[in-house]
Amino acid sequence: MKIKALSAPYILWMALFVAAPIVLITVYAFTTSSGEFTLNNFSRMGSYLPVFGRSFLLALIATVICLLLGYPLSYILSRESPRFQQIALMLIMLPMWMNYLLRTYAWLSILENTGLLNRLLSALHLPTLNIINTPSAVVLGMVYNFLPFMVLPIYSVITKIDRSLIEAAQDLGAPPANVFRRVIFPLSLPGVLSGITMVFVPAVSTFVISQLLGGSKSMLLGDLIEMQFLGTAYNPHLGSAIALVMMIIVLVCMLVMNRFGQGEEQAVIL
């Protein structure tokens, strides 16, 4: 009884701030402004398919880049001394202590046509870059803001791998590449999947990064949803339908990745 009583605030919190918004979005998605049932909100989403494609493509690219950068960094970091690991983790988390909006504004001042990057290139008599208001700038902003969310879970899992398993593989004559491929990487998959989830989900729904760094040419789902709720094209029912479809697609992707991760873990055990 005491345990149930202690969990009551958490259950209340989840009901108010997780379950209730999802129910509200679902109701809005299947109703009109007069409260009548309709599927018109979903049929109108066909004109926004390019936005869906762009959002998932850029989020996927950013996630892959974060994985390619974050996994080697996490692996190298896990092999260093505890003192070095503490300092490195502090440096990785340091940007996260700054406001998300300020971090994005900083990249705006760096990448704009008269920003720090182009002034440096001009001083070195090199060609300037026109990267601001392009998808490349959006991906760069995503990678910068979400890379720590890839590094931390992978690092946490790798450091907990039983070193005796690695030593056993080495004693049996497995070369370093096979040890990594057959032991380390499969056992680190839970961290990889957590990192992919923690990067892909906010990347596909972001709107601050795309607004500041991408301009009007790089509208993403987050911008489209915000436009339906707060912009001039006010239509919360259509916005709810878009949000609901995006959430379902993301959940399906996560389920597929989790099944893949379970299959890999069973292969290691066998």
Q: What is the pLDDT along the chain (270 residues), one digit of tens a residue?
A: 566 777 778 888 888 888 888 999 999 999 998 889 999 999 988 889 999 999 999 999 999 999 999 999 999 999 899 899 999 999 998 888 888 888 999 998 899 888 889 999 999 998 988 899 899 999 999 999 999 999 999 999 999 988 888 888 888 888 888 888 888 998 999 899 999 999 999 999 898 899 889 877 778 999 999 889 887 778 999 999 999 999 998 888 888 877 766 655 555 544
Which DSSP state fits 31?
B
Q: Compute the distance between CA of residue 260 and CA of residue 102 in angstroms, rounded to an integer.
A: 37
Question: pTM of the prediction?
Answer: 0.88
The tokens for 225 are 């949803």
The reported pLDDT for the residue numbered 266 is: 53
Is 133 within 8 Å of 215 (Cβ atoms)? yes
CATH of domain 48-234+248-269: 1.10.3720.10
252/239 Cα distance (integer angstroms): 20
Residues sharing a CB contact under 8 Å with residue 15, sequence separation 6 or more, in sequence order: none
Please tell me the distance from the alpha carbon of residue 248 to that of residue 174, in angstroms, as a whole number.
42
Interatomic CA distance for residues 11 and 65, integer angstroms: 37
- Are residues 224 and 52 in contact, defined by beta-carbon separation less than 8 angstroms? no
Alpha-helix residue ranges (DSSP H) falling in 44-173: 49-78, 82-93, 100-111, 116-123, 135-159, 163-171
Q: Where are the domains of the chain?
A: 48-234+248-269
Partner residues linked to 37 by β-bridges: 31
